[in-house]
Amino acid sequence: MTREETETSGEDMMIDDPKPKIENDFNVHYLRIYYGNLFPYTDIHKWLSYGHGTCLFTCLSFFLSHSLKSFKNASLMEAAIKSNFPYKIDIGAVYSVDPDKRHAYAQSGTNLFTPVERELVFDIDITDYDDVRYCCSGADVCSKCWPLMTVAIKVIDTSLREDFGFKHILWVFSGRRGVHCWVCDAKARRLTNEQRSAVAEYFRVYKGNENNAKKVDLMGHSLHPFLARSYVDFLKSFFEGELQATQSIFSSKEKYEKILGMITDEDIQADLRGKWENSARSSLSEEATSLLRWEQLKKALQSKRNKALSLRTCVEEIVFTFTYPRIDLEVSKQMNHLLKAPFCVHPKTGRVCVPIDPNNCDEFDPLAVPTLSQLIEEINSGGLKMDVDDDDSDSSLLGKSIKFFRSSFLEPLLKSCKEEIESSYKTKIAKTKDSFSW
Amino acid sequence: MEVIRSQKRTVSNDVVSTPTLPLYLTAPHMEVRLEEFELFAIDRLRVLKGVSDGLARARNPNEMDDLVETLWKEHMRLSNVSEMINKDIISHFVLRLVYCRSDELKKWFLSMETALFRHRFRLKKIEEQRAIVGEFGLPYKAVIGAELESLKERLGLVARSHGQISSDGTCNMLYFDPMFTLSHLAVKLVPFLMEKFLSFLSFAVENIYYKVPFEEVPDLVASRRVLLQKGFAFVAGTQLVSLVVTQFRSHLSKALILTNRKWTTTIREREKDRLTPIVEALSTSYLGPDYSQSNEYADISLKDIDQVSKSSFPLCMRHLFEKLREDHHLKHGGRMQLGLFLKGVGLKLDDALAFWREEFTKKVGSERFDKEYAYAIRHNYGKEGKRTDYTPYACSKIITSAPGAGDHHGCPYRHFSEDNLKAALSRMGLSSRGMEDVMDKVRNRHYQLACTLTFEAVYGTSCDTGINHPNQYFEESQKILKSKTPAAPV
């Protein structure tokens, strides 16, 4: 999770300005209106209760007070959020005892305040790709590099469903430059830290730092079926298509040297380098140049493929380096890690953390996500208070997101929770019927 | 388990039926002699501490296999197989009592017992391994028929992704690599086909795959050594160890919680005059010789003592000695730690009195020395009061002591700041490389290992048993130095 600093923008109140042009989309007054009218309390509470009607021991952290809170029902949660207007809300694990009372349970020898359940979460941040994107760096993101996130969603989502068998998966825009994934199946919530770590490591391919030129090492005589499927279904076409168009990774000497460094055979390196230096002044576009050079590289490697094992997987390694998802392992491994709640507002951009549909993630545009000021303006111009529970809210900026959250995530999840509660109840009844001993 | 005092033990029948690697699933019904209760536990503890040492030294899995085999033979072997199994089971359950009592003890015991189990399992033949899997009552079935057919190709990919093409029986299916050029084929055709055919057969026979929920084999998932589909992992027969170890650990973890509950609610009180003191002593017990009787190596005279302190004392005692010479005084903790050590080293009572008197009178005067300090020294040698001959402190005791302001006792690897420790180590003659190794152990809280590495660096030899007593350090050092220059005093 990215621990971000808050803005101290409490005093920028421009409500008297007839046409408020806000430099900073985020201020306390707008937050108040947002949490007063737009934040979907009931839906969030239903989600975190998982059919039990209460999320009593779920740890929610409010950034302002940094205190851990838990709520018996939606209206209490609503009241607390409305009185605090936190800059952000983070969701943590469900604990064995009330988080508010954890100090009372502190004892030597055994720790009673332990996490019991927690969604399996993933955090993908585009700054982790800085070494392979040339359009932006750091906190910026644009339409040229955002597709890296799209591909990441496809790869991870497919694997979570096909390999791990998970069904209730929520993808959320992190508000600025990444995505979060919440896996909410009961099996996922009950995973131990060790099991979470195993899933995270299963997804890990990139092992890079400044010291090594080759950051992806696909050893062995074949790819694991998961990696092979990701390559064939998503990565290869993305690399040879969209990536070349947006990043042109071969078009300049600085760029292609980085790739040449990943080829372990010096003869091939020298050969390609020679070719490309000579064609530096060609009339082709950047994109076409890039594609041509990629074909030349593949051909060069193909001809020498049997000479060394490391050359066999070189093509795939290059593709993986540029396109394969890079998740933040630490976020996934521990149950007690806090992660930003969906539908809260990002302090730096003012954008709402809306859900992303993994089946349509190509169409998601991070720069078109509603900002706090846009939402407020919508309320102002509409003249009415938006009612989030209103089914006709499809037309509003936020309504579509809330509707998607409900229909494709919340409802199936609650149905499955209900079935599970019922079946475990039935098993309990059956057990007590069978035995008369005590 | 029933602990009795009688000489003869009735051999129980339900133990012998298990294979040679018990799973400790339920406490056995057998009678145990009181002496065996403690002795068996101590022997097993030696094994576990050996395992701990091996892991701290980052031994690779094959080395650990060998280490475990050696340790087990050395400490747990008995002439009769069923006796051996009994000892195995009894010692495990006794140690459960000892190590269930706090989170830290539980964590250590769980790690060591799991590692011990893992390596003992790896040493078994594959049929025995399969039998053990059955013992656990795991509901996992082998994948057969149409399901296996649909998975075969991908299972082969998984095996190949970890470079398994050798024909050692673990190899995989008939996978024809399209990258082979024609000339390559022509040369190798016949042996190649034979090899593939044989390996195909062995695949058919050896490589059974079990369908297991992925949560049960986290390490295989993490390293992508298994195929996953809809939440299930397909675990090869050769990967059973992973499956079994996870089960073992999870079962033991739960059992320890239950044992702790039973201990605190009933057993501890009920056994307070019999088993409880034994149990409580076992977790901190030092398991080597107690150096209460000095031997011929160790007779030292006062005139040699300064030289000996520089050449053979471990860092803790060297520090105390230097401070005594410097300040002409030591507080109580330091007097005890150094004084008993010197006794173990071979300093006779008269020499000891003379030694301490020589230093202390420089500060407090002769009369005060006789009045306040001499008695305590004589007491340590068992010449006063209840005449207990006190034994020199082992490392475990020294490490857990808590030196306060003005104290110089304790373990420097634990109690010194990093800078002070480095300075002290360089005075002992360590190179910066050697020092880094030692500091690395210190940061990971392996204090005795740090002292062992210091020993190895100073004397240029390895100390496989590890240092766990200052007098052991002294004796080993003297042995080495005497073997180099037999005539001169060292």
Give the separation between CA A189 and CA A168, rounded to whole angstroms.
11
More reliable by pLDDT, B257 or A382: B257
Summary count for chain B: helices (H), strands (E): 23, 5
B102: which DSSP letter?
Answer: S
Residue B117 pLDDT class (50, 70, 90 cuts): very high
Is the pLDDT reported for residue A377 higher than 70?
Answer: yes
Is the pLDDT reported for residue A198 higher than 90?
Answer: yes
* pLDDT value of residue A435: 57
Interface confidence (ipTM) of the complex: 0.85
Q: Do B329 and B359 form a contact (C-beta atoms < 8 A)?
A: yes
Give the separation between CA B228 and CA B234, rounded to whole angstroms.
7
Is the pLDDT reported for residue B170 higher than 60?
Answer: no
In this structure, what are the phi and psi dihedrals at residue B22, rounded to the nearest 5 degrees?
-70, 155
Give the model confidence (pLDDT) of B398-444 as tens digits.
Answer: 998 888 888 899 999 999 998 999 999 999 888 888 899 999 999 98
Is the pLDDT reported for residue B260 higher than 60?
Answer: yes
- Domain spanning B2-134+246-282 has what CATH number? 1.20.930
Kindly give the pairing relationship between strand A169-173 and strand A178-183: antiparallel
Chain A interface includes B488 (CB < 8 A): no
Dihedral through CA A282, CA A287, CA A291, CA A297, nearest 10? 70
CB contact under 8 A, A306 and B218: no
Determine how many CB atoms are found less than 10 A away from the CB of residue B474.
27
Give the model confidence (pLDDT) of A126-152 as tens digits.
Answer: 998 988 888 888 888 888 899 999 999
* pLDDT value of residue B387: 67
The predicted model gives B28-49 an average pLDDT of: 85
Give the model confidence (pLDDT) of B439-485 as tens digits.
Answer: 999 998 889 889 999 999 998 888 877 888 999 999 889 888 888 76
* pLDDT value of residue A251: 81
In this structure, what are the phi and psi dihedrals at residue B487, rounded to the nearest 5 degrees?
-85, -50
Query: CA B173: distance to chain centroid?
Result: 41
- List, as one string, the DSSP characters of A115-171: EEE--EEEEEEGGGGGGG-SS--TT---TTTTHHHHHHHHHHHHHHHHTT----EEE
B451 is in an annotated binding site: yes
More reliable by pLDDT, B447 or B490: B447
Q: Do A92 and A125 form a contact (C-beta atoms < 8 A)?
A: no
In this structure, what are the phi and psi dihedrals at residue A171, rounded to the nearest 5 degrees?
-100, 135
State the SS3 of A279-292. Answer: CCCCCCCHHHHHHH
List every span in chain B annotated with CATH 1.20.930. 2-134+246-282
Q: Do B155 and A225 form a contact (C-beta atoms < 8 A)?
A: no
* pLDDT value of residue B113: 94
Distance, in angstroms, between A188 CA and closest chain B CA?
A: 10
Cβ contacts of B264 on chain A, cutoff 8 Å: none
Chain A interface includes B181 (CB < 8 A): yes
Residue of B50, B56, B97 lying closest to B75 (CA atoms): B50
Q: Do B323 and B338 form a contact (C-beta atoms < 8 A)?
A: no
* pLDDT value of residue A131: 86
Is the pLDDT reported for residue B166 higher than 50?
Answer: no
Residue type, A427: T
Give the separation between CA A10 and CA A13, rounded to whole angstroms.
8
Percentage of chain A lying above the pLDDT 90 cut = 30
Residue B268 pLDDT class (50, 70, 90 cuts): confident
Is the pLDDT reported for residue A301 higher than 90?
Answer: no
Give the separation between CA A48 and CA A342, rounded to whole angstroms.
12
What average pLDDT is seen over chain B?
A: 80
Which domains can be identified in chain A, with CATH numbers?
28-203+328-424 (3.90.920.10), 225-323 (no CATH)
B171 is in an annotated binding site: no
- List, as one string, the DSSP characters of A21-55: --SSS--HHHHHHHHHHTS-HHHHHHHHHTTSS-E
Kindly give the pairing relationship between strand B232-236 and strand A120-125: unpaired
Cβ contacts of A164 on chain B, cutoff 8 Å: 214, 228, 230-231
Is the pLDDT reported for residue A191 higher than 90?
Answer: yes
A351: which DSSP letter?
Answer: B
* pLDDT value of residue B9: 44
Residue B292 pLDDT class (50, 70, 90 cuts): low
**Which member of B102, B215, B222 has the closest CB to residue A109?**
B102
A144's tokens: 């040229």
Give the separation between CA B131 and CA B62, rounded to whole angstroms.
23
* pLDDT value of residue A68: 60
Give the separation between CA B414 and CA B398, rounded to whole angstroms.
10
B/e letters for B336-356, b = 16+ CB within 10 Å, e = fewer, are bbbbbbbbbbbbbeebbbebb
Long-range contacts of B157-161 (CB under 8 A, 24+ apart): B157/A222, B157/A223, B157/A224, B157/A225, B157/A228, B157/B227, B158/A224, B158/A225, B158/B224, B158/B225, B158/B226, B158/B227, B159/B236, B160/A220, B160/A221, B160/A222, B161/A219, B161/A220, B161/A221, B161/A222, B161/A223, B161/A224, B161/A227, B161/B224
Residue in chain B closest to A222 (alpha carbons) equals B161
The predicted model gives B370-381 an average pLDDT of: 85
Chain A interface includes B378 (CB < 8 A): no
* pLDDT value of residue A395: 63
Give the model confidence (pLDDT) of A66-86 as tens digits.
Answer: 456 666 666 777 787 777 766
Give the separation between CA B239 and CA B235, rounded to whole angstroms.
6
Give the separation between CA B360 and CA B323, rounded to whole angstroms.
12
Give the model confidence (pLDDT) of B92-103 as tens digits.
Answer: 999 998 888 888
Q: Residue holding tokens 């009787």?
A: B293
B316 is in an annotated binding site: yes
More reliable by pLDDT, B62 or A87: B62
Q: Do A350 and A373 form a contact (C-beta atoms < 8 A)?
A: yes
B463 is in an annotated binding site: no
Kindly give the pairing relationship between strand B31-33 and strand B227-229: unpaired
**Which member of A110, A227, A228 has the closest CB to residue B103?**
A110
Give the separation between CA B212 and CA B287, rounded to whole angstroms.
42
The predicted model gives A242-254 an average pLDDT of: 84
Kindly give the pairing relationship between strand A355-356 and strand A169-173: antiparallel
Residue A434 pLDDT class (50, 70, 90 cuts): low
Residue A283 pLDDT class (50, 70, 90 cuts): confident
